[in-house]
Every structure is written in structure tokens, then in C-alpha cells.
Amino acid sequence: MDFTPRLRDTEKGREIFDPVRKKYVALTPEEWVRQQLVHFLINEQQVPVSLIGVEVVVPVNRRNLRADVIVYGRSGQPLLLAECKAGDVKITSKTFMQIAGYNLTWRVPWLIVSNGVQLYCCLFNAATGQYDFVDKAPVYGEMNKEGS
């Protein structure tokens, strides 16, 4: 997932431009991965930038949690949830439990977890409640078809 980020240095530190939020944000290791994923979704998976949400509040069990990235269908329904970890954070079953917990609210068909080095994608089967891992992330048309 190579991309050419827009960076700038400020008195607060280095910042990266987020095309979804349309502003510069603090460049943390997790933000680097989040922006890498956003650019991947836009440039390689053909997701319209207007249908991506970043750091969206997800109510789960009376708590407001933040989903790193959400992709929406054209009618506004969430199709994909993504969780980003810093590059030095190992992706474990705990990471998947975290994003599956977010999915209790929306029951989206697609989940992605990435640390910038590894990207895992799975498809939620609403009939069985199971997650099936897939070899690659879907392009937007596939997400939308599954989410219809």
C-alpha cells in the first residue's frame, strides 16, 4: 500500500493531510496506517472519498467508541469497518474481537484490520454470525453488492 502523503511540519509537530476530513492531522504511527488504508481504499479499491468516514463514533454497549475507517453505501448504510494499528503492533485475535464488537452495532458485511504491514479482510455472514477471511479486500462495487 504505497502512497505519497502530503506532510507538513508545524510548531506542534509533523502533520499529514487527511483527504476524508479535508484537514491536516497529527502524524502518529496509527494515523500513518489509517492514511495508508484510506489512500488504498480510494486509489485501488475505487471507494469514492465522499463515502468514507474516519474516526466515526460507534455506540457499543452504552459507550461511544471510534471506528478508524468506515465505508458507506450510496444510500448511507455502512458496508465496511476498518481498524488500524501502528506498524509495530501485532495483529491478534484481540484486534478482531475489538472490530467484531464494533460490528455488533452495524453488522456490516466487510471488516479490515491493518497495521500497515499486514492487512486482513473478512466477510461477515449475517445468517450464521461467522466471519470468513478472504484473500483480498473488495473493490467498492463488490462491497456495495454484498451490502445491498
Phi then psi for residue 38, to 5 deg, are: -60, -45
Indicate the pTM of the whole model: 0.92
Q: pLDDT category, 148, cuts 50, 70, 90?
A: very low
Nearest to 39 by CA among 147, 137, 111: 137
Strands 78-84 and 110-114: parallel
Looking at residue 58, its pLDDT comes to: 81
Inform me whether the pLDDT recorded for 70 exceeds 80: yes
- Determine contact, residues 123/132, Cβ cutoff 8 Å: yes
The pLDDT mean for the chain works out to 91
Rounded to the nearest angstrom, the gap between the alpha carbon of residue 110 and the centroid of all alpha carbons in its chain is: 10
Inform me whether the pLDDT recorded for 12 exceeds 90: yes
Listed ranges 5-14, 94-103, 125-134; the one with the highest mean pLDDT = 5-14
Domain 46-147: top CATH class = alpha beta
Share of the chain above pLDDT 70, in %: 95
pLDDT in tens, 104-117: 888 899 999 999 99
- Determine contact, residues 71/80, Cβ cutoff 8 Å: yes
Inform me whether the pLDDT recorded for 100 exceeds 70: yes
